[in-house]
Structure 1
Amino acid sequence: MKNSVILIGKESVGKSQLIRSLTGKNAISEKVKGTTINIQSYETSQFHFIDTPGILLETDSLTTKLALNEIPNSDCVILVITATSIDKDLSDLLPLVQDKPGAIIITHWDLVKSKIHTEILQKLEQEVGIPIINVDTRNISSDEKQHILDTLTKPQIFKKAKVTTQVEFTLKPKKSIFEVPLVGKLFAILLLLLPAWVAVKFAILLADNLYDTVYNGLNPIIQKINNLPSPISHLLGTDYGIISMFPFLVLYALPTVFLFAIILSLYKTSGLVDRLTLTIHPLVAPFGIVGRDVVRIVMGFGCNVPAVISTRSCSSCTRGNCISAISFGAACSYQLPATIAVFAAAKMDYLIIPYLLILAITTLIYLWVTTPKKARIFSSKLVISERDFMQWPSLNATKAEVFALVKEFFRVAFPIFIVICLIAGVLNWLGVIEALASLMSPVMTLFNLPGEAAASVVLGSIRKDGIAIGLLNPAMDGIKIAISHPVQILTVVYLAGVLLPCIVTLFTVAKEINVKFALKLTLRQMIAAIIFSLFIAWIGYLI
């Protein structure tokens, strides 16, 4: 039987990179016994490595509790600390691993190797009674790798929870543009918006060049499917079927997800994410979230479901607010491409910038109104206390991150696409969509929209790509309802996208928190979406 080796350490110390270097393999996702939480594990012929989430001692996050709870269940512990703050990390983490067998690995050694004498580490090693190995996790030699594996074969016991030997050395990153007043915050905001903007522009470019080819190739197949008996024709063809929506999936959704994954991975592996969250924190704290939460919200632009799951790392004080922001303001890989497709068909590509700005501003207002005072007080306390080091992104680490994000899309979001296509097809066959659209049609006048716009609102509430289905003609090169003013286009796209959470996101929220919270979130979001849409419709039109 393989020995289980758990890696424990704070955030951004290089645990994942260390395991990938030791094993040469990608992670396997597995559930923690007795929970619905997944952790990353890596297999070798000798060991079963477990990569736990980074420990945040200042918070009561679910993932920190998970990491601490996993320590007693392991055969061996690798305590991973960074060379830039050895004394602090040992002081904080040694008590957690007392009486467990294991080793200490110091990462980021390349940053300090000329500044810390090996004699002090030898003295520290003697006092703690545990092998201390220093490495550059990106460039572990075969000898270093073998030394670590040999150490784990016969690990020593962590006997001390506190040491008197001090390295007395800390290294802080140089100041950068992010520390420049005002300019740094503006730059951070631009970088946070960049993934969505690049993904949008690339998807539009791809669709402009390939749509006719894809559509013309599929059109004969769709025509044959439409001649099949119901409900098969509705499930596969017509306006809502799987095959009919294939061009949208290939030309808009997949490119958006892939590019988003690449950019986000570059941010993570370079250390840029930590720098952005630190910079942006003072701006978002008044709204009941912390800097790290903004990154989770940005993740929602890929898919809301893994973004909601990632909130397990949030404090209990801010988790609900972060989930609310993801549900309300993170346009997922179906909603955002559908929005792009509508703007492109209306020959109003420029609307994507005001759309994203309106989405961001209304999300902040929504959080301000709904955030409890307790969350605002907590979020004013900065969780990331120091700047992290920036580095050039690692190709292997970036590839692993991209692979994980794209895999998550196909594991979670793609099946959702299929299921919701089938549900929409059945509802269309039964006439439910048409009935709901007719029922809502008179209400559309309140938003300065024609009654036909109700179909896109209904469809957008059922499935986020329904925004495009309800507004675009069959060739997806024009708007099929009588609206032409930019404000009308913005209003209907905003209302259809924000009125209700994605169905699967809602189920995920209910599973992660509880049903009561999910229902409360839905009601609040519906009310806010209606109010904001009325403002967009009439104030925008008057302007």
Structure 2
Amino acid sequence: MHTSFPHPTVQRCIVIIGKENTGKSQLVASLTGRSPYSTNFRGSTVTCETYPGDRVTFVDTPGILYRSDTATTRVALEQLQRHDTILLVVKATHVDEDLADLLPLVDGKQGLVVMTFWDKVLSSELTQQAIYRWQQATHLPLIPVDARHLTATQCQDIQAAIEQPTALSTQPQPMALGWRIEPCPTLLEHPRLGWLLAIALLLIPAVLAVWFANTLAAIADPPIQGLVKPTVEALSSLPSLPREILTGRYGLVTMGPLLFVWAVPTVILYALFLGAYKASGLVERITIALHPLLRPFGLSGRDLVRVIMGFGCNVPAVISTRACSSCSRKTCISAIAFGSACSYQLGATLGVFSAANLPYLVVPYLAYLTITTLIYTRLIAPKSARSPQNSLMIEHRTFLEVPRWSAIWREMQGTLSQFFTNAIPIFLVITLIASALDWLGILNGLSWLISPAMALFHLPPVAASPVILASIRKDGLLLFAEPNTVSLLSPVQI
């Protein structure tokens, strides 16, 4: 009996090439049904992401920053050399410029051209005729789409072009389509007011997060404390060590409500605001507005985006510096390590401010972080990074969009996951260790040893224990919010 086996389907690999912020990640997500992590600010994709399909595997490369030396641009060009079939993505608003820059890079390959951001172009008979004439002159498929809302017909056209790819060539010289569309300027582009508005917009998320969390905590704290009090009384008969671990100065029952009433709402709200900024494209506008102020300190506006990302989690922020210029990348990483308060530190710090009923301290706190970080980067930045000739490498102004909840949620997930899966468990372990050390009398001994140092900073001896534990873990700062500690501290000391 003869048995035949079906031939395995050959999996084709399609490399997606395009400049930054052209919607490459959203396009491949719409084609494959998978959600992209990248959002509406430049350099979101910092490594090659693979999207396997039925017969096609898409490789989403980092955006090419023309005339740049970023590591992500080099990664994209390496992928371009390794594969022959290309899905070239250009932006409809700057289509002639993108084609002129990118077609020479893919000369000799085969594939198709997809034109995103078509919703920004007023579709008319004239624009359709221009596309048709371009296709006839170049013998290349040019498919206009809105990557966020891909129609079934557009998906079929792209799939058909992938099945029968066309040779990509700059000969004959492509004709111009003849339009260019720029986003409307805002106050952020104002030469005198832009930087002031940008700084205000950076402060607003933290201020609002603390204010909302403080308001919520003022409502939730009394009933929660009322629920905790009977528990504390019920546990008072336990042996001394378990009682100290559960209801002592740093016990789980004592510190738990503080964490969930004050710190958690602050982190959630800050992640929400920052996610909305990124998804709307506002971060990109802030980047451009603040670049002239940052250049003397060895940073660029592009680096600022990564430093802001560090306020969620330092690790992905450092990874994303691959999209920064080589002359400023080390300085940017140092700025993240020195001045980006991750969700652990930020949540703990803002939680202390809220517990002390001093939410306005968030403004001088952020100002202090900013000033000290700028002084530090000024000292370590190479001279080339501080040069007036070091212009901002950026292609075009980003279109502002009303952020979708799905995009905001994608941005929030990383910060919240880090906070709930790492920061909270570690903080609970800190409370266990602190309670045990307090029960053994070790904290009192250490406090006595460093009390002279506390006096140098005009801090009470009771602040020594939180200082010791906060030096081990950032979220140990929350111990400053312990009622017997925070009540002894003035606003300046806090």
Q: Which amino acid aligns with 1:414?
A: T
Pair 1:57 & 2:63 matched: no
SS in 2 for 1:284: helix
Pair 1:409 & 2:419 matched: no
CA distance in 2, matches of 1:240, 1:118: 69
Q: Which has the larger Rg?
A: 2
Aligned 1:123-522 pairs, distance under 5 A: 123-160=133-170, 163-215=173-225, 217=227, 246-377=256-387, 380-393=390-403, 395=404, 398-407=405-414, 409-410=416-417, 414-419=421-426, 421-422=428-429, 425-426=432-433, 429=436, 436-473=446-483, 479-480=485-486, 482-484=488-490, 486-489=491-494
Q: How far 1:245 moved relative to its partner? A: 5.1
Q: Which amino acid aligns with 2:350?
A: I
SS in 1 for 2:86: strand
After superposition, the Cα gap between the structure-2 partners of 1:22 and 1:416, relative to the gap in structure 1 and judged at 3 Å, is same
**TM-score normalised to structure 1 length:** 0.76
CA contact 1:329–1:359 (8 Å) conserved in 2: yes
SS in 1 for 2:474: coil
Q: How far 1:290 moved relative to its partner? A: 0.9
CA contact 2:356–2:487 (8 Å) conserved in 1: no
After superposition, the Cα gap between the structure-2 partners of 1:261 and 1:337, relative to the gap in structure 1 and judged at 3 Å, is closer
CA distance in 2, matches of 1:239, 1:129: 76
SS in 2 for 1:152: helix
- Residue by residue, what CA displacement relative to the aligned partner does 1:474-503 show, whole Å, maximum 9, x if unpaired? xxxx6356333x2222xxxxxxxxxxxxxx
Aligned 1:71-110 pairs, distance under 5 A: 71-73=80-82, 76-110=85-119
Q: How far 1:125 moved relative to its partner? A: 2.9
Q: How far 1:433 moved relative to its partner? A: 5.8
CA contact 1:234–1:425 (8 Å) conserved in 2: no
Could you tell me the percent identity over the aligned residues? 42
CA contact 2:311–2:346 (8 Å) conserved in 1: yes
After superposition, the Cα gap between the structure-2 partners of 1:190 and 1:226, relative to the gap in structure 1 and judged at 3 Å, is farther
- Structure 1 partner of 2:3: none
Q: Which amino acid aligns with 2:485?
A: I
CA distance in 2, matches of 1:253, 1:276: 27
Question: Which stretch shows the higher mean deviation, 238-247 or 5-14?
Answer: 238-247
**TM-score normalised to structure 2 length:** 0.83
CA contact 2:114–2:145 (8 Å) conserved in 1: yes
After superposition, the Cα gap between the structure-2 partners of 1:228 and 1:17, relative to the gap in structure 1 and judged at 3 Å, is farther
After superposition, the Cα gap between the structure-2 partners of 1:481 and 1:264, relative to the gap in structure 1 and judged at 3 Å, is closer
After superposition, the Cα gap between the structure-2 partners of 1:82 and 1:242, relative to the gap in structure 1 and judged at 3 Å, is farther
SS in 1 for 2:492: helix
CA distance in 2, matches of 1:461, 1:207: 27
- Unmatched tracts of structure 1, length 5 or more: 30-36, 490-543
C-alpha RMSD of the superposition: 3.4
